[in-house]
Structure formats: structure tokens, C-alpha cells
Chain A
Amino acid sequence: MLRLTAILALLTAPATADEIWITNEKDDSISVIDVATLEVTRTIPTGERPRGITFSHDFSKVYICASDSDAVQVMDPVSGEILHDLPSGEDPEQFVLHPDNRRLYIANEDDAITTVVDTDSRRVIAQIDVGIEPEGMAVSPDGKIVITTSETTNMAHWIDTESEAIFANTLVDSRPRHAEFVKDGSELWVSSEIGGTVTVFDVASQAEKAKIHFEITGVHEDRIQPVGFELTPDGKTAFVALGPANHVAVVNAETWEVEEYLLVGRRVWHMAFDREHKLLFTTNGVSGDVTVIDVEKREPFKTIKVGRFPWGAALRPTEG
């Protein structure tokens, strides 16, 4: 019966049936959303407290931070089966896959360490001492720099991927949560949850070049807590999740001014675009759902119920 359904699904599926994968932190599962139908098509069990999620560059494997299982799980995205675990260090929260498609840089939240794992040999290559509660992870497009942000130390640590050692530390506002290299790697953006800001660094000099502030009428500034964010491929527009402010800010990435605030679900956390960057999916932790935003119209238009405390989001393009 199951097979029959699968075949039927294949037959009726559109040419591309891309998926958005959502980790449900408090359900120990992944909800798979079909981008075409905007429905949850699969719920896949994972280890305990799944948070960070990323696909290998060929999308043949998906890596999942199962924080409370102290493991990075490697899953076959087709079957949903766990292939094996990677040695991840304790309490992995977030990670980033190097452009070499081999090295996985993992933030070990409880240990103040960034662990570098070779995903092929499944061995730990290096462990780098960073600040307290490392979380945000980013890698430059050329693969030369990896960033770890530490929540309680309030820094972005700049790691040279050749020596696997820190070469600079830059302070940001309180509780940095997420980091991304943007605009072809010329800028690094870091969000600060308690500080309520996003800091923009010039990568070449590691100097701060701008700070983005947010203000929503009727929402106390303390509730505005930037977490995850994504930029459109042209580097002109950023979408910033504002946590318990329940809004996503649309930021002009050239002037660093906020143009709009979009109301989404409660405690909005991370997000992922669809393949064409027409849709944006945000995870809303407290309300246990995903908001779908029409990127061009800048309009949230659908809410999809997922598991408890959705956290991470990642696109899986498929050739259906």
C-alpha cells in the first residue's frame, strides 16, 4: 500500500518537487514540506533535540545536529534512514559545511569548542577553543574563513581554515546567534539576540562597517531579538527573523535600513528560501509552525503546522 502511494505520488508530482526540511527541536523529528503543495509530506524521526540542519553539496546526504544525543547524524534524504553518526563533540547546535564538501565545522554549545570533522573519514580533524556557548557558524565562499559566534562571550571568532586556528576575535552585541558571509564573501553579518542588532563586518579588515537596528511600533525593544537571517541572491535584500517580536524584518542590504516588518508566527527562529528565491519559509518556535512568505510581494501568505519547536530549515531541491 505504501509503495503504491509512493508510485502515485511520483506520478502526480510536478516536474520539480523541492522540499523544505524543518528540524523540530522538541519533537525529535524532521517535517518535510513539499514546496509545490506547501504541505507536510513526511515526518522523519531523528536523535534528541535536532537543531542545525544542512545538506551535502550534492544533496545526497543530510547532516543533523542532534544536540542532546551529542551527535551529528547523517541521513539518507530519500529513505529518511540514519546512515551513521559523526563524532561531533558534546551538544552540537549549529554547523557549516566547508566548500570542500568534506569538512564540517560544528559549534559545541556546552563545551566552548568548535569541532572540525572530516565527513569522509568520520574523524575529528581539529578542536578549536572558542568563547562560551558557540552557536552561529559561517564559512566564506572561498572556504578560507570560518566564523563561530559565541553567545555569552559576545564575539565572532575568525578561524583560518588552513591552520584551523583563530586569527581574529571581534566583539558584537549581546548573545550573537547567527552569522553569514554575504555579497560574495565581502561582508560578514552577525545577529545579536539580546543586543537587538545585526552587525555588518568588512571581511578584509574585520572592521565593523554598519549596525542594523530594528524598531516595531507596539513591540518593546527588548522583545526584538534578531536570530536567523537570509539575503536574496542579488545581495540587495535581507530577511531577519526577530524572535519573540514575531516579525521578520525586510532590510535593504545596501543602506542597512529596515523597509518593512512582516508578521509571522511566534518566536521566529530560522529560515530557508525555495530554489527560485520566490518563497521564504520561517520556523516559528513557540507556535510550532512555518510561515511561508511571498518574497516579491513581501507578504506572508500561508502557515504550515509542523512539529514542536521548529528550529532549523534547509532546502532540498529534487528532480521529481
Chain B
Amino acid sequence: MRIFGLAAVLSLSLGAAAASETQVRIGYLSVDEPAPPVLSNLDPTPEDLGLAGARLGIEDNATTGRFLNQTYVMDETRVPEGGDAVAAARALLASSPFLVLDAPADALSAIADLPEAQGALLFNATAPDSALRDAGCRANLLHTIPSNAMRADALAQFLVQRRWTEVALISGAHPRDLAFAEALRGSIAKFRLKLVGEKDWVFDADMRRNASAEVPLFTQGFKEHDVLLLADEIGDFGRYVVYNTWLPRPVAGSEELVPQAWAPVVEQWGAAQLQSRFEALAARDMQPEDYAAWAAIRAIGEAVTRTGSAEAATLRDYIFSDAFELAGFKGSPLSFRAWNGQLRQPIPIVTDRAVVATAPLEGFHHQGNELDTLGRDAPETACTAFKG
């Protein structure tokens, strides 16, 4: 009924020349990190990864805002390697309480702890660290990119459904690989799969030449397993493992069959429209970081549309209310978990060519929302910042 009142008032006010305009200013901060060396540079990281999604979100918000006399402005700041991310965030917070962040975990925590950030709404659009949603959570820091745990749980559900219950794991040495491997182990335990063996990727030879000779031997030692999991989040060695394993086994995890927030092959539920809007804007495929940045901006826009306010506290209340739902082109309404600020969302499990399945899979039930079968649930969270 409240919404109706608002809609009626707004539609009436449209005719009036003196209708007051609401301007929403959003900061976007990306913090460059040194790119780790990888064996192949077949897939370079786009310069505007994440940012392009945010820009599309602003466009989408603006199209809607046009009918409600609401406008959106985005201030973009990029901090080079070794630059002062916290100072840059402070500068952005001086002009807006809404900040979308593409930054590593330690920078996110430091920014969230700024006195200037208290009462602000910060969105983590790229960091998958589980700790940020757990003991290291911050009440002013929301997460639109899925955690490692959510992605690993999505894949584990798929393995359970296919009855590929015995798994082997190869992990790279980069901190991001280790974090995803840790999440995979957690999901293996959570969904009662069996980890039959684990190896660290230690090769320093050129796998572009040696994979067919080395990988069979490297994987020969694994006990009988149904599927080989790879934790290779930086895209280093995974591509050379596929089809070179000792046993003919499917590969999943960071390579081949991958749980992702978003991928170019997602086309159901109107996703094709979002994909083509993104392509028109960025001249490339939409990646998970783009999707998460888009979702952050759209979450702000949705709250502005429904409340008619640009106040951080009002928008935060709305975002965490039952009324909030974001249409995210993944078949279910998206919303934020009240216990850690994570955007709950379906996770497509994809190959380069198709969506193989979308988690949560049928049969994984939850007393509240089935999306909460993915990632840290309320009873198990170590996050306390959102209480009270």
C-alpha cells in the first residue's frame, strides 16, 4: 500500500514542472593489483572489468529515473598499483555515501573502517573472500559478488546430483587459488562428497609444450575418482589439465565446468537482453565482476525508485526489508542476507558453450530461501556486525 501511495504521488508529480529532482551520486573505486604471471595470455583481463558493469547499471537506473525525476551520476576513481586506496575512498565518500568497490579484501576492510564510511553503503563487487562475509564482516559493507563458498557449494550440489561423489583436487599456489581450494574442501564436507586425493600444482616448466607429457603422470597418482577439481582462480594451469588427465575424467572448479555469478552463455530469464545491452556498451562479454558491479548499482537504483529517497539510511533499511527484490536475470528475485550483507543469488554452472545447471539445484531445500543453501547460512555465520 505504501508503494502504491508513492507511485500515485510520483505519477502525479510528473506533470508538475516544479517537481523536485532527486540526484543520486555513486562513487566507483577500482584498486589495481599486480597481475600474477600465467602460463598463457590467451584471455587478457579487460581494462574496464567491473567498471563497465557499473556503467551499465547507471544507464539502467537513469532510464528508470527519467520517469521519476531521479538522476544518477557516477564518479570513477582508479588507484594504480601501490597507490593509496583508502585515501581515494575517503575522497569519494566526501561527495557520496554510496561506493562500489573493486578492491582486495584488506583494502575493503580498511575502507569500511574509515570514520567517513560509517553510515555509508559500500558494495564489494569483486572480492570473493569468505572471511569478508564471516568473522571479518563489516555492517556497512555489502557483497554483490558471490563468495568462494557460494560458488563451491553450487558446484558441490551439482556433483551430488550427478552422483560424482569421489573427487580429487589440484590447487595452484596463488592466494586466490588457495582460498577457492579451501572453499571447495568446505563444500566437499558440507555436501558429504569424498576427497580422495589432493595435489599442489608445482610445475615451473612451460605447460604449453609439456602438458600432454606431464599432466597424465601428475594425475596418475590419484585414487579412483569421478571428477577432478581445479583451484586455479588466476587462470594459470587449468586449461592444460583438461583432456590430459591419466583417467578420462571431467574437470570442474576453476576450469571447464565452472560455477560463476555470470557468464556469456547465460541467456534464460531475459538474460539475453542484459547481455546485449552490456555488449553494446562495452564491446565485450559480460563477466562475473561486471555483473556484480551492475547488481550493486541496480540495488541502489531499485531502492531509490521504491523509496523516492537518496538517503543512505533510508535506502539501507529498504534494501534489508522484505520488500526489496532485485530482478537479476537469473530466474529468482535477488536480495541481501540480513546476517552478513551478501547478495543471495542463483549460481549458473557453465562451460564455455552452455549453462549446464543452475544452483540451487532441485532437491536442496532450505527452511527459508533455497538460495541460502549456497554459502554461509545464518546459523553458521561468524559475522556479528549485522546484529542489532
Contact in complex: A152, B67 (CB < 8 Å): no
Contact in complex: B64, A153 (CB < 8 Å): yes
Taking the closest CB of chain B, its distance from the CB of A312, in whole angstroms, is 16
Distance A132 CA – B60 CA, assembled complex (angstroms) = 7
Contact in complex: A131, B67 (CB < 8 Å): yes
Query: Which residues in A have their C-beta under 8 angstroms from that of B60?
Result: 132, 152
Distance A154 CA – B323 CA, assembled complex (angstroms) = 14
B356 within 8 A of A: no
A263 within 8 A of B: no
Which secondary structure dominates chain B's binding surface? helix
The range of chain B's interface size is: 20 to 34
Distance A169 CA – B331 CA, assembled complex (angstroms) = 26
Query: Which residues in A have their C-beta under 8 angstroms from that of B306?
Result: 171
Contact in complex: A244, B331 (CB < 8 Å): yes
B14 within 8 A of A: yes
Query: Which residues in B have their C-beta under 8 angstroms from that of A164?
Result: none
Contact in complex: A151, B6 (CB < 8 Å): no
Q: Across the interface, name the chain B residue whose C-beta is closest to A205.
A: B8
Taking the closest CB of chain B, its distance from the CB of A11, in whole angstroms, is 46
Which A100-120 residues have a C-beta within 8 angstroms of B? 109-110, 112
Contact in complex: B331, A152 (CB < 8 Å): no
Taking the closest CB of chain B, its distance from the CB of A140, in whole angstroms, is 17
Contact in complex: A151, B270 (CB < 8 Å): yes
Taking the closest CB of chain A, its distance from the CB of B13, in whole angstroms, is 11
Query: Which residues in B have their C-beta under 8 angstroms from that of A44?
Result: none
Could you give, for residues 258-277 of chain A, a 1 whenever the CB lies within 8 Å of some chain B CB and a 0 otherwise? Answer: 00000000000000000000
A51 within 8 A of B: no
Taking the closest CB of chain B, its distance from the CB of A281, in whole angstroms, is 24
Query: Which residues in A have their C-beta under 8 angstroms from that of B325?
Result: 173-174, 194-195
Taking the closest CB of chain A, its distance from the CB of B362, in whole angstroms, is 10
Q: B-contacting residues of A (Cβ < 8 Å)?
A: 109-110, 112, 129, 131-133, 150-155, 157, 166-171, 173-175, 193-196, 205-208, 220, 222-223, 244
Q: Which 5 A-B pairs have the closest CB atoms?
A: A208-B4, A153-B64, A169-B67, A171-B7, A174-B327
Q: A131-B67, A168-B11, A222-B370 are in contact. List 12 more A-B contacts (CB 8 A).
A: A109-B273, A132-B60, A132-B64, A152-B63, A154-B305, A154-B327, A167-B15, A171-B6, A175-B327, A193-B327, A194-B332, A207-B4
